[in-house]
Amino acid sequence: MSKAFAGARLRRLREERGLSQAAMARLVELSPSYLNQLEHDARPLTVPVLLRLTEAFGVDAGWFAPPDSARLTAELRESLAEEIAGGRITPGDLDEVAARLPAVARLLTEVSRERRAVAEQLAVLAGERGPAAETLTPHEQVREFFYRRKNYVHALDTAAEELAGAIRLRRGEVRAVLAGRLADGHRVRVAAGGEQLHRYDPHTRVLSLSDRLRPGQQAFRMATQLAYLEYDPLLSELAVQDSPEGSTAWSLTRIGLANYFAAALVLPYAAFHAEAERSRYDIEHLADHFGVGYETVCHRLSTLQRARLRGVPFSFVRVDRAGNVSKRQSATDFHFSRTGGTCPLWNVYEAFASPGRVHVQVAAMPDGRRHLWTARTVTRSPGGWGRPGKTFAIGLGCELRHAARLVYSDGLDLRNAAAATPIGLGCKVCERPACPQRAAPAIGRPLAVDEHSSTFVPYPVRVGQ
């Protein structure tokens, strides 16, 4: 068993509780000098000390687990690319900061974004054209809201499950039960028709649903409306934790939380988790079993992180043919670059070549971590000749150590590292200099420019750099 060092986490816990080292040492029956050594990683955290800490402070043992810093490292490298290129800091320095001091790493990332946003504003005022500001858009702020919570909102998830039990929600009767709850509990009538997918009129108390919505989608819209009608204060209370009340990000977060509630109501946690485990996370089976769409199932699978009843920690991504990421949520720290696109070797793009078929890929990241990814297309059409629809690829992935729990791992040689497809975080921050698919030079890596030769590698770097 490898030694566990958790000095930064231990120090943060002590400071959050307002304790001195001597006071904390007394609580867990250690000497102040021993605690000081633990905080400075001079000694590893032993199991007996870990048990004392969890009992004394009421925290889960996972609090002291080393952070999965791959995503944070990539964000730091993007944010501080100029500093890396100028030799003021090395990628190794950033790796250490992300691993040992994640709070500091996040602060550095935010400060860097704010600095660049100010520079952009000054350039505009001066009549110049600068690079696009790197401040988070409202939609990206919502994405960060769910990422920081590992894509699981306990208060909302348990509230939805309790409501599902109270109204006796059962498979095959979901729409009827939800319509009954809207009518009996809120005097809301569900009507068919209308130009929009759905519209609720608070004055007439009519919820209009498009005829083009499938039964599962209709149930989802009803459940979303119930979130607003029954848990509106909770939605606002959660949203204001990250965004000022009344801001665009706050409103979008409320919508995201209402959608989260809807999925948790239509697919109650315990029942959905049990069927997912029983079927070994067979996505198409779960979609058929619960009468919902493929994307809805994938999205719900990425939220199964309730303590003592955890599912496989998944990353969920939705992309279009052009590589635009319209949804990206994760119960893990898996990360793709916000700038420079995602990796073209990722199987979510292969899915467009065979629509409707589930593609499976073992992918290896530059740091050696391997993941099992499934990808399949979903198509939505407004109906009618000549009316363009939209097609997305839905990706769902987990670390390879969980792959045996998935039906998609059957027949794969999970132990053969050489069989994995090497992918990266996006060309600008990818550490694979020899990738023939590279679309941009790596940040901070000097190019080898030679007028008299060429290589199979689009952007060769200097040897030893």
Q: What is the pLDDT of residue 47?
A: 83
Q: For the segment 153-162, what is each residue's pLDDT rounded down to a tens digit?
A: 999 999 999 9
Q: What is the pLDDT of residue 11?
A: 85
Grade residue 360 by pLDDT with cuts at 50, 70 and 90. very high
Q: For the segment 52-74, what is each residue's pLDDT rounded down to a tens digit?
A: 888 877 776 666 665 555 667 77
Q: Are residues 80 and 58 in the same domain?
A: no
Q: In sequence order, what are the residues at sequence separation of 6 or more whose Cβ sits closer than 8 angstroms to the Cβ of residue 134? A: 79, 112, 113, 116, 117, 339
Q: Are residues 351 and 444 in the same domain?
A: no
Helix (H) or strand (E) holding 310: strand 309-310
Q: Which domain holds residue 442?
A: 438-465
Grade residue 378 by pLDDT with cuts at 50, 70 and 90. very high
Q: In sequence order, what are the residues at sequence separation of 6 or more whose Cβ sits closer than 8 angstroms to the Cβ of residue 369? A: 70, 399, 400
CATH number at residue 337: 3.30.450
Once rounded to an integer, what is the mean pLDDT over residues 162-188? Answer: 94
Asked if residues 337 and 428 have their Cβ atoms less than 8 Å apart, the reply is yes
Q: What is the pLDDT of residue 340?
A: 44
Once rounded to an integer, what is the mean pLDDT over residues 24-53? Answer: 86
Q: What is the pLDDT of residue 333?
A: 63
Q: Are residues 18 and 114 in the same domain?
A: no
Once rounded to an integer, what is the mean pLDDT over residues 314-343? Answer: 77
CATH number at residue 57: 1.10.260.40
Range name among 53-67, 266-280, 364-378 with the lowest pLDDT average: 53-67
Q: Are residues 333 and 395 in the same domain?
A: yes
Grade residue 132 by pLDDT with cuts at 50, 70 and 90. very low
Q: What is the pLDDT of residue 128?
A: 47
Asked if residues 363 and 346 have their Cβ atoms less than 8 Å apart, the reply is yes
Q: What is the pLDDT of residue 105?
A: 79
Q: Higher model confidence: residue 69 or residue 374? A: 374
**31 has pLDDT over 50:** yes
- Is 147 a member of any domain? no
For residues 465 and 462, what is the distance between their CA atoms, to the nearest angstrom?
5
Domain boundary among 111, 135, 159: 135
Range name among 111-120, 216-225, 314-323, 389-398 with the lowest pLDDT average: 111-120
Once rounded to an integer, what is the mean pLDDT over residues 349-373? Answer: 91
Q: Are residues 129 and 38 in the same domain?
A: no
Summarize the chain as % helix, strand, coil (round to 5). Answer: 45, 10, 40
37: which 2 tokens? 């050594």
Once rounded to an integer, what is the mean pLDDT over residues 14-38? Answer: 87
**129 has pLDDT over 70:** no
- Is 159 a member of any domain? no
What count of other Cβ atoms lies within 10 Å of the Cβ of residue 353?
Answer: 9
Q: Are residues 418 and 313 in the same domain?
A: yes
Mean pLDDT of the chain: 84
For residues 168 and 166, what is the distance between their CA atoms, to the nearest angstrom?
5
- Is 45 a member of any domain? yes
Domain boundary among 106, 135, 164: 135
Q: Are residues 79 and 31 in the same domain?
A: no
- Is 433 a member of any domain? no
- Is 460 a member of any domain? yes
Q: Higher model confidence: residue 120 or residue 291? A: 291
**133 has pLDDT over 50:** no
**338 has pLDDT over 60:** no
Grade residue 1 by pLDDT with cuts at 50, 70 and 90. very low
- Is 390 a member of any domain? yes
Q: Are residues 318 and 410 in the same domain?
A: yes
What count of other Cβ atoms lies within 10 Å of the Cβ of residue 82?
Answer: 12
Q: Higher model confidence: residue 66 or residue 243? A: 243
215-239 and 248-266 are packed helices; what angle lies between their axes, rounded to 10 degrees?
130
Domain boundary among 108, 135, 162: 135
Q: For the segment 80-117, what is each residue's pLDDT rounded down to a tens digit?
A: 776 776 667 777 777 777 777 777 877 888 787 777 66
Q: For the segment 400-444, what is each residue's pLDDT rounded down to a tens digit?
A: 989 999 999 999 999 998 889 998 877 777 778 788 888 877 766
For residues 392 and 394, what is the distance between their CA atoms, to the nearest angstrom?
6
Q: Are residues 60 and 74 in the same domain?
A: no
Q: Are residues 418 and 321 in the same domain?
A: yes
Q: Are residues 125 and 99 in the same domain?
A: yes
Q: What is the pLDDT of residue 434?
A: 80
- Is 80 a member of any domain? yes
Please state, for a pLDDT cut of 70, what percent of the chain lies above it.
87
Query: How many domains in the chain?
Result: 4
Q: What is the pLDDT of residue 204?
A: 95
- Is 394 a member of any domain? yes
Once rounded to an integer, what is the mean pLDDT over residues 17-29? Answer: 87
Encoded amino acid at 106, one letter: R
Q: Are residues 115 and 83 in the same domain?
A: yes
| Helix/strand/coil (H/E/C) assignment for every residue in the chain | CCCCCCHHHHHHHHHHCCCCHHHHHHHCCCCHHHHHHHHCCCCCCCHHHHHHHHHHHCCCHHHHCCCCCHHHHHHHHHHCHHHHHCCCCCHHHHHHHHHHCHHHHHHHHHHHHHHHHHHHHHHHHCCCCCCCCCCCCHHHHHHHHHHHCCCCCHHHHHHHHHHHHHCCCCCCCHHHHHHHHHHHHHCCEEEECCCCCEEEECCCCEEEECCCCCHHHHHHHHHHHHHHHHHHHHHHHHHCCCCCCCCHHHHHHHHHHHHHHHHHHHCCHHHHHHHHHHCCCCHHHHHHHHCCCHHHHHHHHCCCEECCEECCCCEEEEECCCCCEEEEEECCCCCCCCCCCCCCCCHHHHHHHCCCCCEEEEEECCCCCEEEEEEEEEEECCCCCCCCCEEEEEEEEEEHHHHHHCHHHCCCCCCCHHHCEECCCCCCCCCCCCCCCCCCCCCCCCECCCCCCCCCCCCCECCCC
Q: What is the pLDDT of residue 135?
A: 62
Distances (CA, A) of 15 to 105, 169, 302: 18, 45, 32
